[in-house]
Amino acid sequence: MKAVVYEAPRSFEIKTVDTPRPGPHEVLLRVLMAGVCGTDLHLHDGEFGPTYPLIPGHEFVGEIEEVGSAVSGLSPGQRVVVDNTRQCGECVNCRRRRANFCLNLVAQGVNAPGGFAEYICAPAGRCFVVDDLPVEVAVLTEPTACVVHGLDRLNPAPGSEIAVFGAGPTGLLLAQFLAASGGTRVTVAAPTAFKLKLAAAWGADVTVELDRSRPERNAELLRAASPDGFDMVVDATGATAVLDQAIELIRDGGTVVTYGMAPEAATWTISPYEVFRRELTIVGSFAQCYSFDRALLALRTGRIKTDGMITHRFTLDEYADALTAVAESSCLKAVIVP
């Protein structure tokens, strides 16, 4: 089969490799579509804990080609999405119900073969049948599951005023979930007009088009959106400049959420006195666990909108172009179609 294979950071080839064979408790999938996201850019640079050689791709939907000898309840021809993470259940973090931090975590597309390939094997118990969903919707299950976990972490109070920085896929998904989960007024701030148009169509109460060359003007517009300050500011960009601004925008007793993935070497300077005096809360949200079923429910009911989110499609041979596109503002969501 054909696959994207990394041997080291920034060093990949489109190779012909052996098609995997499913174990007794696994299924073999023909990959129909795999999402490319900002995490893949970090993996490209060697961040986020990759293990080499690596086939990346952690957001994928496939059709079952073959089932292992011990698999029941799944059949060839069914379309499934896969929770790409597996926890050991026995380490100190798993025993304390912190499965996201399993010391023996296996994450397909990070430290195990992922979906930027023609075929992939996956544990049957991590598969969710999605015959009822279009492939273009099903492929967004993993990022939606990550947002569901984010809401588990945040639990916004009813009547909250919330600002979301970033109108990429996660920013748009977050804004929708927050509006349905306690956010009485949700503001989305981003520099790209067509993404903000989608945010407004999908339920954002206020949109603010940012101008990277005019930070003071941006601050004025955001303060005007909530003169008394936001109860919660969510950074879905991973930019430390946004996090610096967030502290200035939250009201006393407010919460800053670091959802976007910053480079590993990035630092953020915060005044301890400011946190102490204003009783600020800083919350992180990392990946997902126990979230796929709820993500699929949100997608199936139409509570979460995704129409038009995929703007760029590439083949495996065009993987380098996909990485370039993801880094550009004109791309909302890129996918690989093997």
Tokens 């294979």 label which residue? 5
Topology of domain 147-284 in CATH is Rossmann fold (3.40.50)
- By residue count, the chain amounts to 338
- Apex 164 CA angle, 321 and 267, nearest 5: 70
Give the CATH class of 2-139+310-336. Answer: alpha beta
Judge contact between 28 and 22, C-beta under 8 A: yes
Same fold, 2-139+310-336 and 147-284: no
Judge contact between 4 and 31, C-beta under 8 A: no
Residue among 68, 74, 69, 78 nearest 32 (CA):
78
Residue among 137, 26, 136 nearest 86 (CA):
26
Rounded to whole angstroms, the Cα distance separating 310 from 298 reads 18
Rounded to whole angstroms, the Cα distance separating 63 from 80 reads 6
Residue extents of the structural domains in the chain: 2-139+310-336, 147-284
Judge contact between 81 and 60, C-beta under 8 A: yes
pLDDT tens column, 300-333: 999 999 999 999 999 999 999 999 999 999 999 9
pLDDT tens column, 51-95: 999 999 999 999 999 999 999 999 999 999 999 999 999 999 999
Mean pLDDT on 234-262: 95
Q: 190 falls in which pLDDT band (50, 70, 90)? A: very high
Residue 182, pLDDT score: 82
Q: The whole model's pTM is what?
A: 0.96
CA of 30: how far to CAs of 121, 323, 330, 333, in Å? Answer: 9, 22, 30, 21
